[in-house]
Structure 1
Amino acid sequence: MSGVSTEAKVGIFVLVGLAVLAYMTIRLGSFKIGGPEGYEVYAVFDQATGLKKMAPVEMAGIQIGQVEKIALDNGKARVTMMISKDVPLAQDVNALIRTRGVLGDKYVAMEPGTPNAPKLKDGQQITRASVPTDLDQVMARVGEVADNIRQITESLKVSIASPESTRNISEALANLRELTGSLKTVVSTNEARLNRIVSNMDRFTGDLSELSSDNKKALSETIKNFQIASVQMQKTIASLNSVMTKVDKGEGTIGQLVNNKQTIDDLNSTLASLKEVSKKIEKGEGSIGKLVNDDTTVTKIDEALTGINDYLARADAWKVFVEYRGEYVFKEESLRSELNLRLQPKADKFFLIGVVDDPRGKRAETQTYKTVDVDGVVTKTQTNSVTYNRDDLTFNVQFGKRFWDLTLRAGIFSSTGGLGADYYLFNDKLKLTLEAYEWRKDTNPRVRFAASYDFWNSFYISAGVDDIASDDGNTSFFMGGGIYFSDDDIKFLLTSAPSTP
């Protein structure tokens, strides 16, 4: 090569470079020598934003062709594609414009049609074509959602930051502080009485449990007696049918009496006498006539009927509410469920009965006393042990009275005596609840604080702290929600349910 000039070397190098460039272009690009090998099909899309000419056409992630032409056809995008001759497409194939990755290029994806369907020929149209939601549309919708969230936060800021709302919240907290102080005073002054109530309720629930278990056999016998009575009733009805058949035939004493002409004449005579008596009563003759036509008697009857109507109106004024509450207790890692039935004779009074499934279970405390005599000195020691039965259900039996936005409750809370208070805000949408129960001599009561918000119809969400004053480290946060129905809702559901034929 020493005899080759510098210009020749440069020329040879340039030719080799051009040859390599041509090879890489043919190898990696879309240019093919000899023209395309395959057949053309086209699809009409609502829009083809981002799709470029020479974009790949893929099926199952494998390229089977490329986009040859993109043109406007009656306000829509007509995309012409060159498909490899080795890949026949069914006439019901589905063409979609997709994006490779979040910010990648657009390409046409083919979803296979029915295997036995006829195949597309050169120049035919793909009738099934769609464009999934692209990133621009998603971002537009995200923008709309962001605007809505901004409007909601601004409205919430205005409603909470107003002087009136701030004053209401301050007053609510002050009232809550006064309420807790009053509750503490009531509890401290009536601790002995509350302990007696709790002991009596424990004995009462134990007696109920023994009574139900002891009378299982008697209840079974009662049901069996009802079955026997129903069989006897069927036999009695059959006997009555037989008797009526004999009466129709004029058999027996009753049959002869009914079918006897003399008996019928006597009955007609009796009816005529009754007619005469009714005329005398109508004229006010006789004792019964004077009684019926006396204005004083009519007035007393009207007063009696009015009293009955008033009683029925009071009974109809009763409202019934059914409520279920479920809360996840984080310390116990379990769900606390509560089902309550509230009977409300008036708008400001109610009775509440319910059952509670608490993951902590029912608390039982055992006290052990030991006396030791050391060198004539008597020492008395006491040992307390606390256990929780997680399998026992507990019960609620409470009475409540509402004073404006404050409701006070007293009675049985989870099978123990207790007190409670509910404070309502924002037209009863927000409720703050404080309950204290499980009163013990040597430990603090179980105090629960909860806040619930009625966000839609009969549904609400709640959160709070359980056993705030615990000496045993049982304080735990909880979160959940609930649903409640009134008697009107229950009637609507029952009347709306389809009846079986």
Structure 2
Amino acid sequence: MKRRTGFVAGMLGMAMLLTGCDFSVYSLPLPGGAKIKGPSYTVTVEFADVLDLVPKSSVKVDDVTVGTVEKVWLDGYVAKVRIRLPKSLDLPDNARATIRQTSLLGEKFVSLAPPTGLEKPRGRLENGEVIPLSRTTSNVEVEEVLSALSLLLNGGGVAQLQIITQELNKALTGNEPAIRSVLDQLNIFVGTLDKNKQQIVTAIKAVDQLAKKLNAQKATLATAIDSLPKSIATLDKQRAALVKTLQALATLGNTATRVITSSQKDLVANLNSLYPILTKLAEAGADLPKSLELLLTYPFPTNAGIAAKGDFVNLGITLDVNTQKALKGILGLNLPTVGPTALPTNRLSIPLHNPTTNGLPSLPVPTGTATTCTTILGLPVCTPKLNRSGFDPELAKVLMPGVAQ
């Protein structure tokens, strides 16, 4: 009993001694980690979950142990791990950190690696830097896999597969045509969407552009919406006046209806009376605008101002004379035609103004060497002897038979 009491007292004294000193299990020399010789530096790594990572765990690069974990603590909802690395280790500033296991049931360690993919390594990892939560991950734990498998097998979907299959059989039995029709319609619908894919994309882009324009006019729309209550309040104040206006419009409409109804016959009669006038105006056609053009220059045509150059008129007259018709109209003679054609028509041009002289215009006289007189139906007719520049000799034989040519 004395020995046993002394042993217990010694153990209590040892415990009290250990409790009074600043001592923990982590301060004992434990296996794991790398013994760093020479200069070193520390880096803090943030993790969402450190699992069962403990101090003195290894820090590896390419599965080679290069450092050790010094401290693990919780800062809010983020777990932070301080690791020590040798100064000779060259890692980029954007290095990534992952918590891995040496084997299925092995210990945890921190794995450091440069970035992969499109991100390029940059800079150099220095003392006191922090690898943020965005560049750290942790592998799936065996416990998590076994827990998920247990949930699936015991209370998950595997136990419900039989019930789901039975219910589907009950729902589908006897409804095959309807289900087939639904599937056909769904196939047509999906096919139509696929055919109109470009139009749908165009519509979505148009909606996107509309949204951008609305976003650009957001201030204007906000101003309009803010001023809308004031406008509604103003309309509410003017509601009585608006009601009176609408009532007056209704009264005016009724009055106009009565007037039109009572004057319908007179209106139809007036339209029937206007019909002949409008018809004649339509028949006048282009003559009416031409007469209106002459109205401003009456009695002269519209081009009279162009012809009158001052104290003379710059015009020319072409006179067509048909001898046979003239003699028939004046003397009543019906002269026969010579040869297969009728009597020739002599054209006489008389200029009304000669720019080289200031006198009156002169008429051209047919050239001839003598004048011969004869009597036709009791009337004396004197004609000059004509050459080829005057009347035709055949005509002279008909008009003056017996006269020397």
TM-score by length of 1: 0.28
Structure with bigger gyration radius = 2
What is the TM-score when the length of structure 2 is the normalising length?
0.34
More helix by share: 2
